[in-house]
Structure 1
Amino acid sequence: MQDAPRTVTFGPKRFCFGRRTYVMGVLNVTRDSFSDGGRYLAFDRAVARAEEMVEEGADIIDVGAESARLEAEKLDPAAELERLLPVIEWIARHLEVAISVDTYKSVVAEAVLQAGAHIINDISGLHEDPEMAGVVARHGAGLVVMHLQGSARQPARQPRYDDVVAEVTAYLQASIQTARQAGVAPDRIMVDPGIGVGKLTEHNLALLRELPRLKALGHPILVGHSRTSVIGNLVDAPIGDRLEGTLGATAALVALGVDVVRVHDVRANVRAARVADAILRGWTPPWPWAFDAVTGEQRRPLRSLRELARQD
């Protein structure tokens, strides 16, 4: 799944899709997200975590205020923006990172893009709010369209598919068409199969195995597999103990040519993705080697992933 590199800029970051797999860090300013609900709801904790993720090598920070969990509270736009705007504005002022916002509401998208966000991550794939595509287009922003069976407020509890890969592909194709008709530039659209949302474990595995079929859509692929139920079922572990499973999936996704992985544990996934990219894609870091290839001895001081990312 090697592609000719395609370069696009989101905010302060330049992305060369096809060269390596980029890492999007999850920042949930929520009470009830499945993995870390409540942990970063307070402003001080949220911005500290954003800064930490940049230090750990995150290329994008995806900020969300409303969980997709079936049992999670669903916010009106005012409440969603009350959580989002202070964090977005702080990140835009202080950090050198692309900012994505996880929302399916056009009113929220308009406000966060004005506040400094660069990408809208719509879990409904533009199927929820008919105004969303126009807002993204007017701002020249990036757009992630995700597949979802059911609705953003109520994902399917008992999802059914005749051919999950074909149905997800058709859904995303409709999302792309809606975005392009509204004026969203083709090179600013990414697609997300929606792992773990409105799907059973067998659906998720089928999608992951058949990701090459999504490449036919002609847009970068983003996958959010981190700590999801499919990982838990494979490694037989609760949410807080799924790091190794997530890293195994990350390495496999690099091999499949995925362009962005959306994860909670940024440092570990950055390292896993870089090693997999070096082996599978021939990617080499632009900084000098820190360790002697024969003796393994350190030849120069180690630098932070944030410093190294600036040279990438």
Structure 2
Amino acid sequence: MQQEPRIQRLLSCRGHVLDFRKKPCVMGILNTTPDSFYDGGRHRDKALHHALSMISYGADIIDIGGESTRPGAEAVSAEEEIRRTAPLIRELKKHTSIPISIDTWKAEVAEEALQCGASIVNDISGFTFDEALPDVCKKYQAAVILMHTTDRPDQMQWSTETGGAERDIVALVKTALEASVANAKAHGIDQVVIDPGFGFGKSVRENFILLKRLHEFHSLGLPVLAGLSRKSFLGHAVQTHNAPLPSADDRLAATVSANTIALFNGADILRVHDVSEAVATAAIIKAVGNA
């Protein structure tokens, strides 16, 4: 009989420990960009207030990003990313002790953020875009989130109904994440979370296959993050006949439903725009588990 993998249930974030045995964690998204697909430009002038608001609603982590990763987004320089994120991280650290994550794949941006007080590096490329990033994470003893993607954001397309019938998307993503994790381990990084990368280079069908089979990623022995919040593939599922695709503003109910499924299928972290709804969802799942 094949032995079940031992899953890492604690994540040490430079002195702060997240315990997934007690409950799944909620990561609040804070974009300081003008062009993110949902909240672009909404919180740039009141970012600190929004971060503190998410914490008051129960966020366990705040994830700060200075470059949009939506499909087709234009790349920005490391200097611009730092300008958008570093002062906010420094200021937020004065008001909270919860972990702050920097959403970047650039070593230069990550190093500045870690110097300012971030404790997690959330890399959409899974250490594949910038070979210097693992050394920076090791230097500062940062926890890392390694996501799967097939392309850089400026080369990606929005999720569509077509494709996905020929390839085993779970096997493909798992193999790529195994390589990313091996790279992290080779650099002495053992505080790792994996993210299958919903919406990044996958068809609509493939995204739902990943959601249905999310529990299979625990075979890597690591916590799993699900980033489903208001993504376009959810809009395809709830789109009514001949109606336009629901906008990101109209995908909250779909997001709550998807997050519920993700938690039932083993997600340890939900990365969300809407913290209070995600915290409530996690609480209901916990109550069912305790019943």
The question of 1:271 aligning with 2:280 is answered: yes
Whole-angstrom CA distance in 1 between matches of 2:60 and 2:27: 6
The question of 1:82 aligning with 2:83 is answered: yes
Aligned to 2:119: 118
Aligned to 1:33: 36
Whole-angstrom CA distance in 2 between matches of 1:113 and 1:142: 11
SS at match of 1:117: coil
Aligned to 1:289: none
| Match among 203, 214, 217 for residue 211 of structure 1 | 214
| Match among 173, 182, 185 for residue 180 of structure 1 | 185
Q: For structure 2, which runs of at least 5 residues remain unmatched after alignment? A: 240-245
SS at match of 1:94: coil
Instruction: Write the letter of the residue equivalent to 1:167.
Output: L
Deviation, 1:16, is 1.1
Shift of the 219–27 alpha-carbon distance from structure 1 to 2, 3 Å rule, reads same
Q: Decide which moves more: 151-160 or 94-103.
A: 151-160
Aligned to 1:225: 228
Instruction: Write the letter of the residue equivalent to 1:50.
Output: A
Shift of the 243–152 alpha-carbon distance from structure 1 to 2, 3 Å rule, reads closer
Instruction: Write the letter of the residue equivalent to 2:186.
Output: Q
Cα pair 1:103 1:123 within 8 Å, conserved:
yes
Instruction: Write the letter of the residue equivalent to 1:41.
Output: R
Structure exhibiting the larger radius of gyration computed from Cα positions: 1
Deviations 1:89-130 (A, max 9, x none): 011111132100100000111110011000000001100001
Deviation, 1:241, is 1.2
State the Cα RMSD in Å.
2.0
Deviation, 1:154, is 2.4
The list of structure 1 runs, each at least 4 consecutive aligned residues, that deviate by more than 3 angstroms after superposition, is: 1-5, 156-161
Instruction: Write the letter of the residue equivalent to 1:105.
Output: K
Whole-angstrom CA distance in 1 between matches of 2:280 and 2:208: 24
Instruction: Give the TM-score normalised by the residue count of structure 1.
Output: 0.84
Number of corresponding residues: 278
The question of 1:72 aligning with 2:73 is answered: yes
Whole-angstrom CA distance in 1 between matches of 2:16 and 2:186: 26
Aligned to 2:262: 253
Cα pair 1:123 1:152 within 8 Å, conserved:
no
Aligned to 2:108: 107
SS at match of 2:29: strand
Instruction: Write the letter of the residue equivalent to 1:117.
Output: A
Cα pair 1:3 1:18 within 8 Å, conserved:
no
Deviations 1:45-99 (A, max 9, x none): 1101000000000000000011112332211111110000111101111113210
Aligned to 1:127: 128
Instruction: Write the letter of the residue equivalent to 1:72.
Output: A
Cα pair 1:57 1:270 within 8 Å, conserved:
yes
Shift of the 264–12 alpha-carbon distance from structure 1 to 2, 3 Å rule, reads farther
Aligned to 2:155: 154
Aligned to 1:171: 176
Q: Percent identity?
A: 37
